[in-house]
Structure 1
């Protein structure tokens, strides 16, 4: 009696349903830029990929474009309304 083996990866149990899969993106970088990112990642004990993702997430949040982060109203706008500190706003969903 022979047993058939699967040639593909085993499906994840439950985890695949809980989290959306990460997108894979081919990113072309100048070698000097990559080296600088890799050094910075090493200084912060991150992989280069995690460092790039961290920087992108930070930039999106600061620009008020991260889909899950609160948006900060710039100081100039807050000052016009008499607020002393920038205000956190939640994006509307749905």
Structure 2
């Protein structure tokens, strides 16, 4: 038992000098679950927002599918643009 106390604390495999998962920062591992959920919410939110605005304009001006199609198309474009801008930061880092 004297040999153990003379050596000091033993380092484990995930100490500060190791190359294990605990020594890597959160940015070096890519997008986390929080980032992926944010991306999914942004995609769905953009498309649904365009759809709802289109439905409201169609019911207000009594133009059946015109604004639903335009709103959905704009929502898809907004979702794609937002998705690319967010993913680009992960591809650069």
TM-score by shorter chain over 0.5? no
The structure whose RCO (Cα within 8 Å, separation 6+) is larger is 2
Q: Hey, which of these two has a bigger chunk of strand by percent? A: 1
When Rg is computed on C-alpha atoms for both structures, the one with the higher figure is 2
Question: When the two structures are superposed, what TM-score results if normalisation uses the length of structure 2?
Answer: 0.28
Q: Hey, which of these two has a bigger chunk of helix by percent? A: 2
